[in-house]
Structure 1
C-alpha cells in the first residue's frame, strides 16, 4: 500500500510540473479556500465623553416625587446693613433672612435594546453579546444623561422669535431674481443636538415614541415656533443676489435655523450659532417651514432643567448674549491686550462683585478654544507670555499650543487657575462657566456642592421575561439635577467665530 501511494504521488508531481497539461491548475485566494481572520470582540469606535456626569456628585434620594430644599439667599442686618455699632449696655434690633422653598421633580431616563436568539448563537467565540449589549446601553444612557445635565429643558420656553430684519444685495451671490420670505426658528441645546445638520436639513419638532411595551409618548425636540415671514421685496440682480437676515437674540437659544423661499415654499437653508445669516444661494430640498407648527422647545413634566435652562430660569446666574454686530459676522471675543479676554474677565468680576464666588471650570466648543488662544496669544500679549523649561531641552518648542488654563484674579485668596475644557455637546458660540463647589465661606451648612444628581434609584438594568425568541433589556435611572446655587453658573452665548 505504501509503495503504491508513493508511486501515485510521484506521478502526480510529474503531471503538475507540465504546464501544458490539463492537470496543472492554479489555486488562489479567489477560490475562497481561505480562513476568516475575525478579531473579537467588536471594536467600539464611538466616544463616551461625559465630564459633567462624571464630576457632579451622585447622592441617594429619599423617595417621594421630588427632592426638596430651602434656600436662604440673604441675611439682612438691623439698622444700616453695613454698620455693626451698638451703644454700651443696649441690644441690637433683630436681623431678617430671605428664604424660599425649592423642589426638583424626579424624572426617568433610560434606553432599551434586544438580542435575538440567533444573533446570540452566531456571536459565540466572537463576543458575549448579552454583556456588550448591556454595556452599550449603559454608555448610551450616560451620554443622554450628559446631554440632559447640560441642556435639559423643562422650564424655558423659546416661544416665537420676532420677525426677522431682511435685506438683499444684487451682486456676489447666485440667488435668482424674485420675491422671497425669510422665517427663523430658535433652537435650544437639545434642538441643536437633535437637528439634522447634514444632508437634508431639518429642525426637530415633536416626535411620537413607541416604546418597547407598545405604549407611546411624545418628546419635543428643542425648537421654537417659527417667526412671522419677512419679505425681501422684489430683488433683481440678474441672478447674482444675496439675502441677509437677523433677529433679536432669543433667551435660551444657542442656535437659529433660517427658512427662505417664495411664499409657502420657505425651506431650511442654514443653521447659525449667532442671530444672523448671509445666504448666497438657496436650496429647495430641505425641511419646509410648514413643519413648524408650535413651540417645541421644552419637555415640561418629562425633563429636568440642565445647567443652561437653570441659568436662564433663575435670574441670578450670569448670562451674556453677545451683541448682534454686523449681519452674518456677529460679535467676537475681545482681546484685552494683556493676555486675557474682556468678556470672560467681566464674567469673573461680576460673579465676585455679586456673590463672592468664581467659576472653577470653563466648558467650550473647539471653535472657542481656538479663538480664545488666538486672542490671548496676540502680539500685544507676547511680552506677558511665560515659557518654562527644565534646562534639558531648552530649545525644543511644540507648535500649535492652546490655552489649557485661564487665571481668575477675582478670588479671596489671590486668584486661581481654572481649566478650560472642550465639551463635545456645546455648539460654537456658547461658553459655560461652572463653579463645581462653593467656597469655604458658603459651607457653614456642610453642603459644598453647587449641584448634585439626586437619584431616587440610580442606574439599574432590567432583563424582561421572555415573550419571543429575543432577549430584551433596558437600563434606567430615576434622578434629577438639583442645582442649589444657580448664581454659581455663567453662560456666554451668541459669540461669533474669529
Structure 2
C-alpha cells in the first residue's frame, strides 16, 4: 500500500505538471470554464491620493526646549526719535532728548493636531505577504495628519468671528429665466476658509441634500466627546423681492472681513433653503430652486471659529485687522459677476501692483511668494499676456543650440505666469514665484514674506512665521482593548507669526 501511495502521488504531480505548466491551453480552458481563474494582485496597495503640503514644507519647524503651555515673545514694533522723528540735528554741546518705543508681548498657546487609525487582528493576518499593515497604515496616518496640519497653517481660526452676515440687497430684471414667479426671501451665510474646505470647496448651484457644516460633535476613541465649529457665520436677516416669470433674481451682500465664500438660502419667507455658494459677495438665480437642501432655520449661531482649540492660520492672521496686514476686497461689481483683476497694460495686474506698493510703503518689505487658486492663476495670466503687453514678452533661445531640439523655434501653448516681478525694492526688484495652493479658495490671493529683509534681521529672527513645536509628530500605540491594534499620530504646536504685516490678501475676486 505504501508503494501504491507513492506511485499515486508521483502520478498526480506529473498530471499537474502536464496540465498547468507554461501557457497550456488545457490549463486555460479548465480555469475559465470552471470559473477558477488566477487572481493577480500586485503588492503593496497603490496609494492614489494627493498629499500636497506646501506651507508645512516651507515653514521652519522649531522644537522648543522649555515650551510650557504657550510660546511668548516681545515685539518692538517701532522706535520713535525725539523731536521730529526724521531729524537728528543737535546743537553743539547739547544733548538730544530720549527716543521712545512701542513694545508689546505676544502669546501663542500650543494646540494639538492629530488623527487615529486601527488594524484588526484578522486584517493584519490576512495582509501577510501583501503589505506590512503596521508600516503602511502609519504612513497613511502621518500623511493625513500632515494634510490636516496644512489646512490649519492656512485656514485655522481662533480669533476672528464672522458674526452675523449682512442682509442682502435684491433686485429682479431681464427676460428668459425659468425661475417661477414668487415673492422670494433671500438669506446669506458667510464661510471662512475652513468652512469652505469643510463644505468640499463647492462653488455654484448645490445638489439635493447639500448642507453647510455648522457643528460636529466628535466622539474620540477614548469615549470622550468634543465639539468643532464648521467655519460658517450666523445667518443674515432675510430680504424679500417679487419676481415674475422670466426675470433673474439678483442678490448682493456686504463683504464680511474673513469670509472667502457666501452661501445663499432662497425660498418663500420662512422656507429658505441652501441654493448656491459663491466666492464673491453676490449671486444670481435663474432656474427653479433645488429641493431637499439645508433650511436656513438650522443656522442659529456663529460657528466660524474654534476658540481655545485652534491657532490662527496665515489667512486669519492676514484678515485680522489687529495685525496690520494688507487686505483688499474687490468691489461687489455686477451681481453674480463681481469685479475682476485688471490689466495694467505693462504686463502686470493693477491689484497685485497696489499690494506690492502698499507693503513697501508701509513696512519696507515685499512678498517672497504668491499663492493662488488655479482660477486666479489663469486670470493673472490672461491679464498679463495681452496685446498691450506683447512687446514685453521675451522669446529666449540658447546661443549654443543646446535647448533647441528638433524644432528650434517651437512655441509651447498653454503657458502661465510662474513669476511676478516686483520692482519696489532697495536692490532693484526681484521675481516672486506664483504657486497654486490646493486649499486656497477661488477669488482669494495670499501673498506673504517668508523671510524678513536684511534690514529687519538684527534681532536674529529672520522668519516672518515659524511652526513652534512643543512635541513634534509622534505615534501613540494604545493598549489593546479588543482584537484590534489602535494607534494615533499627533503633534503639539503653534504657528508663530512674528511679522503679520508680511501677509497680503486680495479677496472677493470675480472669475474673469
TM-score (norm 1): 0.93
Deviation for aligned residue 1:169:
2.8
**Which runs of structure 2 are paired with 1:369-380 in the superposition (5 Å)?**
369-380=377-388
Q: Superposition pairs for residues 381-392 of structure 1, below 5 Å?
A: 381-391=389-399, 392=401
Indicate yes or no: 2:362 matched with 1:362: no
Structure 2 counterpart SS, 1:495: coil
1:312 equivalenced with 2:312 (yes/no): no
Deviation (angstroms), 1:241: 3.6
Residue pairs, 1:348-359, within 5 angstroms = 348-359=356-367
* d(CA) in 2 for partners of 1:356, 1:497: 31
User: Matched residues in 2 for 1:138 and 1:172: separation?
Assistant: 53
Distance 1:30 1:139, change over 3 A: farther
- Structure 1 position 243, deviation (Å): 1.4
Equivalent of 1:412 in 399, 422, 426: 426
For residues 159-308 of structure 1, what are the structure 2 equivalents within 5 Å? 159-169=163-173, 171-196=175-200, 197=202, 199=207, 200-233=209-242, 235-237=243-245, 240-281=246-287, 282-308=289-315
> Please, which of 87, 90, 102 is the counterpart of residue 83 of structure 1?
87
Q: 2:135 aligns with which of 131, 134, 148?
A: 131
Residues 319 and 490, structure 1, Cα contact 8 Å, conserved in 2: yes
Displacement after TM superposition at 1:28 (Å): 5.6
> Of 34, 41, 47, which aligns to 2:44?
41
Q: Which runs of 5+ in 1 are unaligned?
A: 14-24
Across the aligned residues of Structure 1 and Structure 2, the Cα RMSD in angstroms comes to 1.9
CA distance in 1, matches of 2:74, 2:90: 31
How many Å apart are 1:87 and its aligned residue? 1.3
Match of 1:93 in 2: 97
Given candidates 21, 25, 31, the residue that maps to 2:34 is: 31
Deviations 1:332-389 (A, max 9, x none): 0010000000000000000000000000000000000000001000000001111111
8 Å Cα contact 2:63-2:470 kept in structure 1: yes
Q: Which runs of 4+ in 1 moved over 6 A?
A: none
Unaligned runs of 5+ in 2: 20-27
Among 433, 440, 447, the alignment partner of 2:447 is: 433
Does 200-209 or 47-56 show the bigger shift?
Answer: 200-209
CA distance in 1 between partners of 2:238 and 2:184 (Å): 9
The Cα offsets for residues 238-283 of structure 1, whole Å up to 9 and x where unpaired, read as xx34211000100000000001011222111111000000111211
Counterpart-to-counterpart distance in 2, 1:215 and 1:31? 53
SS of match in other structure, 2:44: coil
* Alignment correspondent of 2:162: 158
Query: Is this contact kept in 1: 2:31–2:37, CA < 8 A?
Result: no
TM-aligned CA distance change 1:443 to 1:40, over 3 Å: same
Measured in 2, the distance between the counterparts of 1:134 and 1:33 equals: 35
Q: Distance in 2 between matches of 1:190 and 1:231?
A: 30
> Given the two structures, how large is their TM-score scaled by the length of structure 2?
0.91
Secondary structure at the counterpart of residue 134 of structure 1? helix
Distance 2:173 2:45 in 1: 54
Deviations 1:148-174, CA, capped at 9 Å, x for gaps: 001000000000011100112362221
Deviation at 1:29, TM superposition (A): 2.1
User: 2:360 aligns to what SS in structure 1?
Assistant: helix
CA distance in 1, matches of 2:81, 2:472: 43
In structure 1, the residue corresponding to 2:457 is in which secondary structure? helix
Larger mean CA deviation between 89-98 and 196-205 belongs to: 196-205
Task: State how far apart, in whole Å, the 2-side matches of 1:190 and 1:81 are.
Answer: 43
Q: CA deviation at 1:60?
A: 1.3
Question: Separation in 1 of the partners of 2:489 and 2:270?
Answer: 44
Tell me which moved more, 427-436 or 25-34: 25-34
Match of 2:118 among 114, 121, 135: 114
